[in-house]
Structure formats: C-alpha cells, structure tokens
Amino acid sequence: MNLKIGTIIKKLRAENNITQDALATGIGVTPQAISRWESESGYPDIELLPVLADFFAVSVDELIGYRLSEREAELTAIKKEMNRLSEVGSLEEQLAYARNAFLRYPNDYEIREQLAVCLYFMWQQTHDTSLIGEIENLLKTVMDECVNENTRYDAITKLVSLYSETDQADKIMDLVKRLTPMKYCREDVLSGGIGDGKTKFYIQDEIDKLTDALGTAIQNLVLNEDIPNDSSTWENKIEMLRVSNKLYSLIYGDDLMYHHFRLAFNHWLISTYEIALGKAKEALDSLEKMCDHAVACDLSYQNDHGKHFSSFLVDTQIYPANSEEFHELTEHTHCYYMLEKMQHSRYDCIRQDPRFRSVTEKLELYAN
C-alpha cells in the first residue's frame, strides 16, 4: 500500500487551520519533522500514529489513508479472479495467482485455503511430494485459527482428502476427534428451547440443515468408491437419488429455491445411469427434470434473496440476502454447468432426439 500520511497530515492541518509549529508543539516534535512528513521525505514513528490520530480526532486507519471498503473490494476482486481462473485458466496460472494473492493477504483464510487447493491439484498432477507439507501447513492454519465455520470445515475436509490419498488414516482419526458429534451440535441444543422466543426458528433451522446433510450423504453414498460402479448397482443408485429428491420435496414442497441445484444434479446423475442401462426414454425424462431444476435454481438466485421458504416445516428460514454465501463468486450459471455435462459422449445416442435438443436449447437461454 502506498502510504500518503504526509499528504493527509497536511490536509487535516489545513482543514483545522493549524500551523506546523502548533502541530509540532501539540504532539511533541519539531516543526522540521512535520515539514519532512508533509513533503513525503519521511514518516512519523509508529508510536506517534495514535497521538496524531487523537490530535485530529480521526482513526489511525484514516490517518494512513487505509479504507476498509477498499480492502474488501480488492479481496472480492481477487477471489472472483481466482474463481475465474479455476474454470478457464491453466493450473500453473491458478497457482501463480494464488501465491501472489497470498503474499498480498497472508491472513485471509479463504485465500490461504485456495492456495492449498491449487497446490493439492499440482501435487496430484506432478506427484511432487515436496508440496504435501506446504498443503498440510496451510490447511492446518485455517483449521486452527479461522473463526468462519464454513471455511474451517472446508479446510478439514480437504485435509481428510489429503491424508486419505497419502495413506495417513491415523491423522484422519485425529481430525475426526476434534469434530463435534452430530447429536451434540449447536442446532440440536438450540432446538430444545432457550427461552428467547425463537424456538420455532431454531427447530426449523435444524430441519433445514439436517435435510441438506442427509441429501448430501445420500449423494455421497451413490458416488462412494466402496460401491462398485457397474450394472449390478446402477438401479440401486437411481433409487437412492430418487429418495434424496423426495426428501427435499417433502420438506420444502415446490418452493425449493437454492436447493433446486441439488435436484438438478441428482436428475443429471440419474440420467447417466439410465443411459448406461440402455434406457434412453427414461434418461430423456431425467434430463428434462434436470433442466427444469437448473433453470429454477438460476431464477431463484436472481430473485429470491431474503425470501422465506413457504413450507410450514421451514417457513422461518430464508434465502440469505448475503448472496456471496450462494455462488456470487461463481463465474457461470447453474444452467451453464449442466449444459457442459450434456456434451459428454455418453449422450451421443440421444443427441439428435428432439427432446434432447429442446433441453439443450432451454439451458442455453440461461447459460452464461
């Protein structure tokens, strides 16, 4: 940051009609020191910054020309660029940008975590084992120091992946011991009522989070490597994903808002198994449902922030007004990603079907 303390001191002095001599007397320095600062020939000692700030009744941040809004704007721009590079840039570009961002903001845990992710992918690609220690240290710092639960949880899950791929099951168990068992979670305690008149909200918050956790667990079960991915399991996997979809519909009804993305992904995944089983018509049915949910997800993202769910089971819960929590830093719409998945060669057998083309055309309307 290019400090302009001298310029700011001169401006504050002029605004308050204070001479260099008067300022020097007031803070206990010589007039020559004030002159040096204002001509940018030197800076005040760090211990004088609070004294100067008190003299002019401003904050130290204002005195050194630092604006939090500017920092936040730069961080948002950096994270958007990191996200863009993760989609269109080479791994080398991503890593170089992440390293520079980390040098600029070493105490930002999201940037630290993103650098660890880039290094992780580089390790997977190059098998350079010297990267493992750096990845582990970056993620451990986030896990131990970050107060944001989502960022901290992401770091833990990435550490689990790292230890899993490096055959360090003992370290995974050490991590697991640091996590709170589900039955002792915050939401469960609050849903019992704490006398603040918000018990209904706490209960519904628990329902909302448990629903998404269970839906995610079913999806993970389908994709788990312990279950063979062959024709002997595909029908069961389809049924599992349908159970997940029914779960969301039972809890949220038709007003799924951002949960539409989960059903869109599930229907797409179902279509892959149906194609593999030679069920072209059923696959087209699933792709049409995928398309409807992907479009609904993107429209909800545009229109529903701050809106309450309509289901009586979760009607105190809202689509957060802070859209950054929900993909604001994502470069493309959900329809864009679903359209990409439809380019796979598995769909060549139905690509010329009018229903397939109709799905593609509808996704293209919202894909950007």
Q: What is the pLDDT of residues 335-348, one digit of tens each?
A: 999 999 999 999 99
Burial grade of 63 (CB within 10 A; 0-12, 13-18, 19 or more)? buried
Window from 131-140, 180-189, 304-313, 316-325 with minimum mean pLDDT:
316-325
User: Can you list the domains of the chain with their CATH numbers?
Assistant: 5-63 (1.10.260.40), 68-179 (1.25.40.10), 186-366 (no CATH)
What's the average model confidence in pLDDT over 103-113?
A: 90
CA contacts within 13 A on the Cβ side of 143: 20
Of 37, 40, 39, give the one whose Cα is nearest residue 49: 37
Residue with the two structure tokens 């329902």:
207
Kindly tell me the sign of the dihedral angle through the C-alpha atoms of 96, 101, 107, 110: negative
Residue 308 phi, psi (nearest 5)? -80, 145
What's the average model confidence in pLDDT over 84-101?
A: 90
pLDDT, mean over the chain: 88
DSSP letter at 335 equals H
pLDDT number for residue 2: 54
Q: Which range has the top average pLDDT, 70-74, 101-105, 241-245? A: 241-245
Q: Quick one: what percent of the chain has pLDDT higher than 70? A: 94
Task: Report whether pLDDT(184) > 80.
Answer: no
Window from 50-59, 141-150, 323-332 with minimum mean pLDDT:
323-332
Residue 172 phi, psi (nearest 5)? -65, -45
Task: Report whether pLDDT(115) > 70.
Answer: yes
Residue with the two structure tokens 């899950």:
157
With vertex at residue 258, the alpha carbon angle to CA 199 and CA 90, rounded to the nearest 5 degrees, is 130
**Residue 256 contacts residue 265 (beta carbons within 8 Å):** no
Q: What is the pLDDT of residues 248-294, one digit of tens each?
A: 999 999 899 989 999 999 999 999 999 999 999 999 999 999 999 99
| Angstrom distance (rounded) from CA 172 to CA 340 | 34
What's the average model confidence in pLDDT over 174-201?
A: 78
Task: Report whether pLDDT(121) > 80.
Answer: yes
